[in-house]
Every structure is written in C-alpha cells, then in structure tokens.
Amino acid sequence: MPPELRPTTTIRITLPSGRAAVLACCRPQFTRWIGPSPNFTYGGKPVLTYGGQPVFAELLILHLLEATGWTGTWISSYGGIKFLSEMPKDSSLVQAPIRLPERQISLIRKIQRRSNQRGGCFDLFAWRNDKIIFCEAKQSKKDHIRPSQHKWIDAAITEGVPLDSLLIVEWSLAPPNVQAFA
C-alpha cells in the first residue's frame, strides 16, 4: 500500500444483518487544485492536485494505488455504473472505455445482486495479483458512510470479500501554505 493509504485507525459499524464490522481507515491530507476549474465538477466536488494536474479524490487515490503496482478503477454510479480512470470532461462521463477483467466484474456484479441495490458500491476497486481492495473516499467532517453502503459492505463480506480489503479513506485538505501529498 502507498504510505498515504496505510490504515491508521478503524471505524466500527453495525451492518443490516446485525453483525458488526471494523473497517480500516486512513486519514491522508491532499492539496487543493489552484488552477482553472475543470468543466465538470459533479456540482462542486473538491478538485485536488496530483502530478500537477486537477483530480477528484477518487482519482488521486487510484493514482496512488497505481503508482505502487495496483490496477484499478473508480466506480462512479453517477448516471449509472461507469468505470473511470481519468477526469471526466462532462456529465456524460464518456471517455476511453475501460474493460475490467472478468473476475473483477463478476465480483462487482455478485455484490450488487446480493445487496439488491444499484448504489452503495465503494468508490474504488483495485487488484494486484490475487489481492483486492475496495476504497471509499470520504472528505473528513463532510461525508459519512451511508445506509446503502452499510448494505453494500454486508453483501461484499457475504460474497467473501475480506474485511482487510475494505478501506475508508477519510481525506482532508492540507492547510493553506502547507504542501501535502500532491
């Protein structure tokens, strides 16, 4: 795992099945993008900096994983499930098509069927060899795990996803004039 995504704490939640889950959590700081705003921001989603380029938190996390040998995708449920690896240019989210390996798409579909819902899936899905990780990006003090995500977590565990393959990335903005990971 990249150092920024190494768990530093845990979050305990009660799932719809009644079982408790303790999820790993990391709390990285990211730098706000100071250049021109992208054309499409999902209605004001914070824009961050990675490699001198504007990115959303989900893509920054994906790029951190990719830099350490993982392959993955941002799973966006905006307007239907789409797999993204680059900044969307507009609300259609149309870009170069991403084809997931059959094993990965099969797991996503099984979890979705078991949860009996379209939403709730964690933001990122990455894999390296036989290891997988699902990451959920939450802006500190602004976002929280939603009930649909509780249901999705329950379904993922039932489908055999190990708890240590679920990571909450509770990110915050670096204070002005402090260079965080960029």
Over residues 48-71, the pLDDT tens digits come to 999 999 999 999 999 999 999 999
Lowest mean pLDDT among 2-16, 30-44, 78-92, 157-171: 78-92
**Higher-confidence position of 119 and 17:** 17
The Cα 29–Cα 179 span in angstroms is 9
Question: What are the residues facing 136 on neighbouring strands?
Answer: 168
**Higher-confidence position of 80 and 88:** 88
Question: Where are the chain's structural domains?
Answer: 3-173
Over residues 94-151, the pLDDT tens digits come to 665 578 899 999 999 999 999 998 789 999 999 999 999 999 999 999 999 999 999 9
Percentage, residues of the chain above pLDDT 90: 71
Q: Is the C-alpha dihedral spanning 135, 140, 145, 149 positive or negative?
A: negative
Percentage, residues of the chain above pLDDT 70: 91
Alpha helices in the chain (DSSP H): 57-67, 102-115, 147-158
The per-residue pLDDT for 24 is 98
Over residues 130-144, the pLDDT tens digits come to 999 999 999 999 999
The per-residue pLDDT for 86 is 84
**Higher-confidence position of 166 and 84:** 166
The per-residue pLDDT for 177 is 64
The per-residue pLDDT for 179 is 60
Over residues 82-95, the pLDDT tens digits come to 788 888 777 666 66
Q: How far is CA 49 from CA 33, 72, 99, 143, 169, in A?
A: 5, 19, 26, 20, 16
